[in-house]
Amino acid sequence: MVRDPFAEDDTPELETVLDALDDEDCRSIVSVLDEPMTASKISEESGVPLSTTYRKLELLTESSLLYEGVEVRSDGQHASRYAIDFEEVVIALDEERAFAVDISHRARSPDQRLENLWSEVRKET
Protein backbone atom coordinates (compact mmCIF):
# COMPACT_ATOMS: atom_id res chain seq x y z
CA MET A 1 0.00 0.00 0.00
CA VAL A 2 1.46 3.33 -1.05
CA ARG A 3 0.82 6.28 1.24
CA ASP A 4 -0.99 9.22 -0.32
CA PRO A 5 1.78 11.74 -1.03
CA PHE A 6 -0.66 14.64 -0.95
CA ALA A 7 -2.46 13.80 2.29
CA GLU A 8 -1.96 16.35 5.02
CA ASP A 9 -2.67 14.07 7.97
CA ASP A 10 -1.86 10.48 7.22
CA THR A 11 -1.59 9.28 10.82
CA PRO A 12 -2.34 5.56 11.13
CA GLU A 13 -4.42 3.98 13.85
CA LEU A 14 -2.57 3.43 17.13
CA GLU A 15 -3.31 -0.31 17.07
CA THR A 16 -1.79 -0.67 13.58
CA VAL A 17 1.45 0.99 14.70
CA LEU A 18 1.62 -1.06 17.90
CA ASP A 19 0.99 -4.28 15.95
CA ALA A 20 3.91 -3.46 13.64
CA LEU A 21 6.25 -2.47 16.47
CA ASP A 22 5.34 -5.58 18.48
CA ASP A 23 6.02 -7.94 15.57
CA GLU A 24 9.48 -9.56 15.61
CA ASP A 25 9.58 -9.99 11.81
CA CYS A 26 8.65 -6.32 11.31
CA ARG A 27 11.46 -5.27 13.64
CA SER A 28 13.88 -7.52 11.73
CA ILE A 29 12.84 -5.90 8.47
CA VAL A 30 13.30 -2.38 9.82
CA SER A 31 16.71 -3.28 11.23
CA VAL A 32 18.12 -4.23 7.79
CA LEU A 33 16.80 -1.21 5.90
CA ASP A 34 19.86 1.01 5.82
CA GLU A 35 18.99 1.86 2.20
CA PRO A 36 15.91 1.33 -0.01
CA MET A 37 15.47 -2.34 -0.92
CA THR A 38 13.11 -4.60 -2.82
CA ALA A 39 11.06 -7.20 -0.96
CA SER A 40 13.31 -10.04 -2.13
CA LYS A 41 16.44 -8.23 -0.92
CA ILE A 42 14.76 -7.47 2.42
CA SER A 43 13.78 -11.14 2.77
CA GLU A 44 17.34 -12.22 2.02
CA GLU A 45 18.92 -9.72 4.42
CA SER A 46 16.45 -10.23 7.29
CA GLY A 47 16.02 -14.00 7.04
CA VAL A 48 12.23 -13.59 6.94
CA PRO A 49 10.57 -15.85 4.31
CA LEU A 50 9.50 -13.91 1.20
CA SER A 51 5.77 -14.66 1.60
CA THR A 52 5.93 -13.40 5.19
CA THR A 53 8.01 -10.40 4.12
CA TYR A 54 5.26 -9.20 1.78
CA ARG A 55 2.66 -9.34 4.58
CA LYS A 56 4.96 -7.54 7.01
CA LEU A 57 5.84 -4.86 4.43
CA GLU A 58 2.13 -4.18 3.99
CA LEU A 59 1.69 -3.82 7.76
CA LEU A 60 4.72 -1.52 8.01
CA THR A 61 3.55 0.72 5.15
CA GLU A 62 -0.01 0.85 6.56
CA SER A 63 1.47 1.96 9.86
CA SER A 64 3.47 4.69 8.07
CA LEU A 65 6.77 3.26 9.28
CA LEU A 66 8.00 2.36 5.79
CA TYR A 67 7.84 4.23 2.52
CA GLU A 68 7.01 2.26 -0.62
CA GLY A 69 8.47 3.65 -3.82
CA VAL A 70 8.93 2.27 -7.30
CA GLU A 71 12.22 1.34 -8.91
CA VAL A 72 11.67 2.21 -12.56
CA ARG A 73 13.50 -0.22 -14.83
CA SER A 74 14.17 0.20 -18.53
CA ASP A 75 12.73 -3.27 -19.30
CA GLY A 76 9.34 -2.20 -17.92
CA GLN A 77 9.49 -4.66 -15.00
CA HIS A 78 9.25 -2.05 -12.26
CA ALA A 79 9.74 -3.14 -8.65
CA SER A 80 8.61 -1.72 -5.32
CA ARG A 81 11.39 -0.54 -3.03
CA TYR A 82 10.93 0.07 0.67
CA ALA A 83 12.69 2.50 2.97
CA ILE A 84 12.33 3.61 6.58
CA ASP A 85 9.96 6.57 6.72
CA PHE A 86 10.17 7.77 10.31
CA GLU A 87 12.53 9.49 12.68
CA GLU A 88 10.46 9.06 15.80
CA VAL A 89 7.24 7.40 16.99
CA VAL A 90 5.55 9.00 20.00
CA ILE A 91 2.62 7.49 21.87
CA ALA A 92 0.96 9.90 24.26
CA LEU A 93 -2.32 10.79 25.92
CA ASP A 94 -4.38 13.40 24.09
CA GLU A 95 -6.71 16.02 25.62
CA GLU A 96 -9.48 13.42 26.09
CA ARG A 97 -7.04 11.09 27.92
CA ALA A 98 -7.03 8.68 24.98
CA PHE A 99 -3.87 7.25 23.50
CA ALA A 100 -2.65 8.90 20.31
CA VAL A 101 0.26 8.19 18.01
CA ASP A 102 2.46 10.77 16.31
CA ILE A 103 5.02 9.74 13.71
CA SER A 104 7.76 12.14 12.69
CA HIS A 105 8.47 11.38 9.04
CA ARG A 106 11.74 11.83 7.23
CA ALA A 107 11.91 14.43 4.49
CA ARG A 108 11.44 12.90 1.05
CA SER A 109 14.21 13.26 -1.52
CA PRO A 110 13.34 14.41 -5.05
CA ASP A 111 13.87 10.81 -6.22
CA GLN A 112 11.41 9.52 -3.61
CA ARG A 113 8.82 12.14 -4.58
CA LEU A 114 9.19 11.08 -8.24
CA GLU A 115 8.88 7.40 -7.23
CA ASN A 116 5.72 8.19 -5.32
CA LEU A 117 4.24 10.08 -8.25
CA TRP A 118 5.04 7.13 -10.52
CA SER A 119 3.37 4.75 -8.02
CA GLU A 120 0.21 6.85 -8.13
CA VAL A 121 0.23 6.82 -11.94
CA ARG A 122 0.64 3.04 -11.98
CA LYS A 123 -2.32 2.61 -9.60
CA GLU A 124 -4.53 4.64 -11.97
CA THR A 125 -3.63 2.66 -15.10
E runs forming strands in 1-125: 37-38, 66-71, 79-84, 88-93, 99-104
Give every CB contact of residue 18 below 8 A, 6+ residues apart in sequence: 91
pLDDT tens-digit map of 11-42: 789 999 999 999 999 999 999 999 999 999 99
pTM for this structure? 0.74
Question: Each residue of 48-76: pLDDT tens digit?
Answer: 999 999 999 999 999 999 988 887 767 77
CA distance 23 to 34: 19
Cα-to-chain-centroid distance, residue 60: 5
